[in-house]
Amino acid sequence: MAKYAIMRFMKLKAAGCGGIEAHNERTKSEYKTNPDIKKEKTKDNVHLVKPGDSYRNLCKALIEKYGCRTRKDSVYMVETVITASPDFFTKMSKRDTDDFFRHALEFYRKKTRRGQNYFGCDSLR
């Protein structure tokens, strides 16, 4: 079967920052809308870049730093998901999987030239 790299982008407004943070950081007690999330695997998640504050506060700090003007419907952040087809990971060790995501993050940083604006990056299992 073919193996594909996958990259997805999603614009989020201020109201969406908390929900996506709870999803990425696995802070909810249960996930009714996404049954694929296995809470028992949270311990296996890897922070490639650990957020130093809430996503919303980090976004506000960047908006202030760059002097941006916002409206209530402004995009606050863009979530980027980097993954691959499931077959790609089946025979990989944990170390190889972690290396894949570290290389993917470096690739993304080089392509976007915005390495200073990342405030969270996780390898979710």
Task: Give the residue extent of every domain in the chain.
Answer: 5-24+45-123
117 vs 15, residue with greater confidence: 15
C-alpha closest to that of 2 among 77, 68, 88: 88
Sorted by sequence, the CB contacts under 8 Å of residue 30 that are 6+ apart come out as 39
Q: What is the mean pLDDT of the chain?
A: 82
Amino acid (one-letter) located at 108: Y
Task: Return the percentage of the chain with pLDDT > 70, whole number.
Answer: 88
Which CATH number does 5-24+45-123 carry?
3.30.930.30
Sorted by sequence, the CB contacts under 8 Å of residue 44 that are 6+ apart come out as 94, 125
pLDDT, one tens digit per residue, over 68-101 is 999 989 998 888 888 888 888 888 898 998 898 8
